Amino acid sequence: MQRVSIISTVLCLFFVTTALAQKPADTTKTPMVHKVFNRLTVGGYGEAVYNYNFFSDNMFRYSHADNYTDSKGHGRVDLPHAVIMLGYDFGKGWSVGTEIEFEHGGTESAVEIEAEETGEFEKEIERGGEVALEQFWVQKTFNRHFNVRMGHMVVPVGMTNNNHTPNMFFNLYRPEGENTIMPCTWHETGVSLWGHFGNGNNWRYEVMALPGLNSNMFTESGWVHNGSASAYEFKVANNIAAAARIDNTSIPGLRLSLSGYIGNSFNNDLVTNESKKYEGVKGTVLIGAFDFAYRHKWFTVRGNADYGHLSDAAAISAHNKSQSHSNSSPYPHTMVGEAAYAMGLEAGVNVLANSQSHRKLFVFGRFDWYDSYVPAGDLVDIDWCERKVVSGGINYFPIPEIALKAEGGVRLLADQYNNEPWVAIGVTWCGFFK
């Protein structure tokens, strides 16, 4: 936590001191402080959630499903995300942006002296969670058609990565299908080119060069979801990948989007395997995605369809399962599917649409269908990896930046497993202070 505080302080000092160093164009008309803060952008988003799951969370609930048919449920409170966003416009087309994310409350650790253990120093972990510098980029804006962004940024593949703030989905947690099979929120260090074209800027494009995923981190339950993770203080980039996205907003209220990713994943790690057995194995990951959103005074509809393919999946599965299982190994050692897919559709009706205030009350429903493990060749399928999810509830916006959410749902699995119902309530916020 101390490291995060230092990072936050340094970033704030960087923006403010750099801004103060800018010479104002006309100090007789506008105070310097006013100019500084006109160029500074501060915002963020976050969620606080309570949910109760009416099913067992035991690790053997799929392999020995009959033993957990009548298991008691379990409740939990969570802070899925708490994000601080800072940006600054230096002028002459140069700007920077940052996003610091605390997932599930961040981490809390401390060193204490234990009196019962003869004064021994002991490190204690008081809370799990993650802290990440999710975005840190420099941008040069040339014109509406062409801009260059360099640094750490969100990969624009899929609906959720490109629209991951809590006002962009109705559930308490991000849409389950995409959040299972792809990194989410997917952020990498790279170079992005983007811009608008067409009448009224109705078309937006983006292409990005980024480090490839790491096949050592692929799993049966999450396909390539963990492939962007790195156990090191840097990201291995033996393989360079590409991502692209195009959005169209020609019809008022409607956004249509196509996005995709391609990159090799095998041996994209410090630990590589050069044996003849894996000669020619590339582990090429291909992802194609379509998503849309339509917003009307009375209702909102959003949906996505994603499909991914992994070449050499059988060889990579064998390789991953044969790796060292030492306690210090960061690898999951599981199978990985040759393909994965996720489809989702949600719709909400604003029952306060005729209200004269800014308040909104959406009654919504959502359906997800996804499979994180479509096996390669003759490998046995893992039935519990295919899931259908039905959910619904309400979103109440007393003001545009705040939402109170409540939902209930059920995760439907194959007949030999137990279905997984839940209820959840929470509060979310998303906005800019200036």
Query: What is the full per-residue pLDDT of the chain (434 aa) written as tens digits?
Result: 444 444 454 455 444 444 444 444 444 445 656 566 789 999 999 999 999 999 999 989 999 999 999 888 999 999 999 999 999 999 999 999 999 998 887 766 555 554 444 455 455 555 667 788 889 999 999 999 999 999 999 999 999 999 999 999 999 999 999 999 999 989 999 999 999 998 888 999 999 999 999 999 999 999 999 999 888 889 999 999 999 999 999 999 999 999 999 999 999 998 888 889 999 999 999 999 999 999 999 999 999 999 999 999 999 999 998 886 655 677 888 999 999 999 999 999 999 999 888 899 999 999 999 999 999 878 889 999 999 999 999 999 999 999 999 999 999 999 999 999 999 999 999 998 76
**What is the reported pLDDT for 10?**
46
CATH of domain 2-106+125-432: 2.40.160.10
Residue 340: which of 375, 381, 304, 311 has the closest Cα?
A: 375
pTM: 0.88
Question: Are residues 2 and 107 in contact, defined by beta-carbon separation less than 8 angstroms?
Answer: no
Count CB atoms within 10 A of the CB of residue 1: 15
What is the number of alpha carbons within 13 Å of residue 170 lying toward its C-beta?
A: 33
Count CB atoms within 10 A of the CB of residue 297: 10
Spatial CB neighbours of 197, under 8 Å, sequence gap ≥ 6? 144, 145, 203, 205
- Rounded CA separation 79/99 (Å): 17
Maximal C-alpha separation, the chain = 78
**What is the reported pLDDT for 325?**
61
Residue 155: which of 175, 131, 196, 183 has the closest Cα?
A: 183
Only one residue has tokens 């020619």, namely: 280
Residues 149, 154, 156, 157, CA torsion sign? positive
Taking each helix axis from N to C terminus, what angle separates 32-39 and 2-20, rounded to the nearest 10 degrees?
A: 130
**What is the reported pLDDT for 1?**
45
**What is the reported pLDDT for 324?**
65
- SS3 for the chain is CHHHHHHHHHHHHHHHHHHHCCCCCCCCCCCHHHHHHHHEEEEEEEEEEEEEECCCCCCCCCCCHHHHCCCCCEEEEECCCEEEEEEEEEECCEEEEEEEEEECCCCEEEEEEEHHHCCEEEEEEEECCEEEEEEEEEEEEEECCEEEEEEEEECCCCHHHHCCCHHHCCCCCCCHHHHHHCCCCCEEEEEEEEEEECHHHCEEEEEEEEECCCHHHCECCCECHHHHCCCCCCCCCCCEEEEEEEEECCCCCEEEEEEEEEEECCCCCCCCCCCHHHCCCCCEEEEEEEEEEEECCCEEEEEEEEEEEECCHHHHHHHHHHCCCCCCCCCCCCCCCCEEEEEEEEEEEECCCCCCCCCEEEEEEEEEEEEEEECCCCCCCCHHHEEEEEEEEEEEEEECCEEEEEEEEEEECCCCCCCEEEEEEEEEEEEECC
Residue 208: which of 250, 242, 169 has the closest Cα?
A: 242
**What is the reported pLDDT for 15?**
47
- Rounded CA separation 312/317 (Å): 9
- Rounded CA separation 156/162 (Å): 5
Residue 110: which of 99, 122, 119, 118 has the closest Cα?
A: 122
